[in-house]
Amino acid sequence: MDRELALELVRVTEAAAVSSAQWMGRGKKDEADDAATSAMRSMFDSITMQGTVVIGEGELDEAPMLYIGEELGNGQGPAVDIAVDPLEGTNIVAKGHNNAMAVIAAADRGALLHAPDMYMEKIAVGKNAKGKISLDDPIEKTIDIVAEANNKRIRDLTVIIQERPRHEELVERVRAKGARVKLFGDGDVEASIASCIPHTGVDIFVGTGGAPEGVISAAAVKCLDGDMQARLVPQNEEEANRCMEMGLADPRQLLTLDDLVKSDDAIFAATGVTEGELLHGVKFLGNDLTETDSIVMRAKTGTVRFIKANHHLDRKPHLLVNE
């Protein structure tokens, strides 16, 4: 993989973000997701790569495009695994809330865990605590470790957790320890990334969420030289069998960052759809001019780029919503 591919993938997330942002606040999450998926799939055709979707919109019989196993790119260039979430936060966009993004992760062929669509326990931290955490540790011990690594008092430490009934006990334990809790609704890719970027003020991401989002997050965490661990949480025998089909003898084995992303090289690209702490949302400036805010990272070089771009929709009619 190379720098050119990283920058080309930003064009893909930009297209998805602009298309889905036109549905912001309209109460139609499926239409927003379809717009993002169609724009992303169309833009992939122009990318020089031999890509294979390993995490996408579903199996072949579940999704008309960006399905698992679909070939992407023009058939030339590097052979890569592609993990996509054309619109991370469909409900967010439908309701006009914050932190929706279009995201892509890429790594060498065979490097990304082919995570099935099931729950996954996850924890992520920044580079100061890299190699010091364990998902098996009580959250109280992890808070002590990360506070020392980040040179913070526990009362100044922030743990970001998805606001769900399954996390109520976890939230109370963090509060009882004396750390700060930041709750979020949907969109745990951005939350996990926040734990690796000092200016967000987030120190730990922890909780149970989607496994596909976990692998995409792992690519970003690797690019940021952070650390992440995970464990699949099958809910029934069928899901447990899917884990074993992936080559996991124990469906609940601890997965390190290198298990999630086996290559030392990975690319992560994202464009904000609605306003967020990491990225601004798409802005419609009038006269068919839009503004996007994106991030693209590469693990091999450690490069992190924030890209602000203007787009003329009148020159890209395929991005316009037909009403």
> Is residue 169 annotated as involved in ligand binding?
no
> Is residue 88 annotated as involved in ligand binding?
yes
Concatenated DSSP letters of 230-277 = EEEE--SHHHHHHHHHTT-SSTT--B-HHHHB-SS-EEEEEEESS--S
CA distance 217 to 193: 7
Query: Tokens representing 192?
Result: 């996990």
> Is residue 90 annotated as involved in ligand binding?
yes
CA distance 222 to 108: 14
Q: How many other C-beta atoms are found inside a 10 Å radius of the C-beta of residue 159?
A: 27
> Is residue 165 annotated as involved in ligand binding?
yes
Backbone angles phi, psi at 61, to 5 degrees: -85, 0
> Is residue 166 annotated as involved in ligand binding?
yes
- 14 in helix, strand or coil? helix
> Is residue 207 annotated as involved in ligand binding?
no
Virtual CA dihedral for 299, 301, 302, 307, nearest 10 degrees?
Answer: -100
User: What does DSSP say about strands 303-312 and 101-108: parallel, antiparallel, or unpaired?
Assistant: unpaired
> Is residue 89 annotated as involved in ligand binding?
yes
Backbone angles phi, psi at 206, to 5 degrees: -150, 150
CB-CB contact of 217 with 55 (8 Å): no
> Is residue 85 annotated as involved in ligand binding?
yes
- 272 in helix, strand or coil? strand
Locate tokens 């326990």: which residue?
A: 121
Concatenated DSSP letters of 161-190 = EE--GGGHHHHHHHHHHT-EEEEESS-HHH
Residue list for the binding site for substrate: 88-90, 119, 164-166, 186-188, 210
Residue list for the binding site for Mn(2+): 33, 57, 85, 88, 213
Residue list for the binding site: 33, 57, 85, 88-90, 119, 164-166, 186-188, 210, 213
